[in-house]
Amino acid sequence: MAAEFVVDVKNLSKDFGDVKAVRSISFRVEKGKVFGFLGTNGAGKTTTIKMLCCLLRPTGGDATVLGHNILSGQMEIKRKVGYLPETPILYEKFSLREFLSFIGRLRSMDSGLIEKQSERLAKLFGLEEEIDKQISSYSKGMKQKASLAAALIHDPEVLFLDEPTSGLDARSAKMVKDLLVGLSKKGKTVFMSTHIMEIADELCKEVAIIDKGSIVGIGDLRKMEKGAKARDLEQLFLGLTGGEDEKELAEFLK
Ligand SMILES: Nc1ncnc2c1ncn2[C@@H]1O[C@H](COP(=O)(O)OP(=O)(O)OP(=O)(O)O)[C@@H](O)[C@H]1O
Ligand SMILES: [Mg+2]
């Protein structure tokens, strides 16, 4: 059977004034994969994810998500994808139950299903006791979990996750990793950005490495490591995104 590509990006670019945040990148993500999007700070990961979720208009190029164009199919894309922002965007005056209900209604879900999904997700993230407490009283990790719950409420076909394990303790991070693998086994597609090499290593068979807005490596992780004669992903990543860090550090420590 021919591969089905859920995300198809062609020469996508984004400028912010003089800053070329994303420079004509192209890649495809197959259905049911956990695809890793790696890059250093400021490489263009968040900008790319926002364009694919129709939250930011590209300067050039094109992309489709689930066959819908990001310029003309915004309504469909926004309805079908789950998006985890880099920093949780939550209505802090709401309780988690109220927040999930609000998001569920935006997703046109009926109230019975919203209630059922909210309870399931609160349980999954260990927030059953907190579900009726104001989000403003949550810790950083709890807010991240609330944000993940909101991304999952409508059981989306595709998930765009910007640093999904950010702020999570080891146990919670492990649960989220297992969750993402489990969802991909059920046919959901996960597109996730990360700085954390071990996470990419564990979860993603395929990755794209972005550096200063351009893709500098893409494909099967193991093959890329072999091709570059890199010991591990970290070495591959450091090789492809080479900077002046060591020189700067020596200068600073002088
Ligand atoms: N709203 C904006 N206005 C101007 N420049 C921006 C804006 N958003 C991002 N940029 C610039 O675009 C580039 C890419 O930023 P982006 O947030 O996509 O990086 P990132 O890969 O997500 O980094 P990080 O790992 O730190 O989250 C950076 O140079 C950043 O300064
Ligand atoms: Mg970012």
Q: What is the pLDDT along the chain (254 residues), one digit of tens a residue?
A: 677 999 999 999 999 999 999 999 999 999 999 999 999 899 999 999 999 999 999 999 999 999 999 999 999 998 899 999 998 888 889 999 999 999 999 888 999 999 999 999 999 999 999 999 999 999 999 999 999 999 999 999 999 999 999 999 999 999 999 999 999 999 999 999 998 888 888 899 899 999 999 999 998 887 887 777 767 777 778 878 876 677 787 888 88
How far, in Å, is the centroid of ligand 1 from the Cα of 134?
A: 31
Q: Is the CB of 43 under 6 A from ligand 1?
A: yes
CA distances in angstroms from 35 to 30, 31, 32, 120, 242, listed in the order given: 8, 10, 9, 26, 22
Contacts of 102 (CB under 8 A, 6+ apart): 91, 94
Secondary structure of 142-200 in the HEC alphabet? Answer: HHHHHHHHHHHCCCCCEEEEECCCCCCCHHHHHHHHHHHHHHHHCCCEEEEEECCHHHH
What's the rounded Cα separation, in Å, for the pair 145 and 125?
6
Angle (deg, nearest 10), helices 96-106 and 111-124 = 130
Q: Is the CB of 21 under 6 A from ligand 1?
A: yes
What's the rounded Cα separation, in Å, for the pair 180 and 48?
20
Of all ligands present, the nearest one to the C-alpha of 210 is 1
What's the rounded Cα separation, in Å, for the pair 132 and 122?
10
Model-level pTM? 0.93
Of all ligands present, the nearest one to the C-alpha of 86 is 2
Number of CB atoms found within 10 A of residue 112's CB: 8
What's the rounded Cα separation, in Å, for the pair 150 and 127?
13
What's the rounded Cα separation, in Å, for the pair 224 and 234?
12
CA-nearest residue for atom 18, ligand 1, is 44
What's the rounded Cα separation, in Å, for the pair 176 and 172?
6
CA distances in angstroms from 252 to 110, 137, 196, 246, listed in the order given: 58, 40, 25, 10
What's the rounded Cα separation, in Å, for the pair 150 and 114?
11
Atom of ligand 1 nearest to the CA of 44: 18
Work out whether strand 5-16 and strand 60-65 pair parallel, antiparallel, or are unpaired.
antiparallel
**Local structure of residue 106 (DSSP, 8 states):** H
Work out whether strand 81-84 and strand 158-162 pair parallel, antiparallel, or are unpaired.
parallel
CA-nearest residue for atom 16, ligand 1, is 44
Q: Can you list the domains of the chain with their CATH numbers?
A: 5-253 (3.40.50.300)
Number of CB atoms found within 10 A of residue 234's CB: 13
Of all ligands present, the nearest one to the C-alpha of 214 is 1
CA-nearest residue for atom 26, ligand 1, is 41
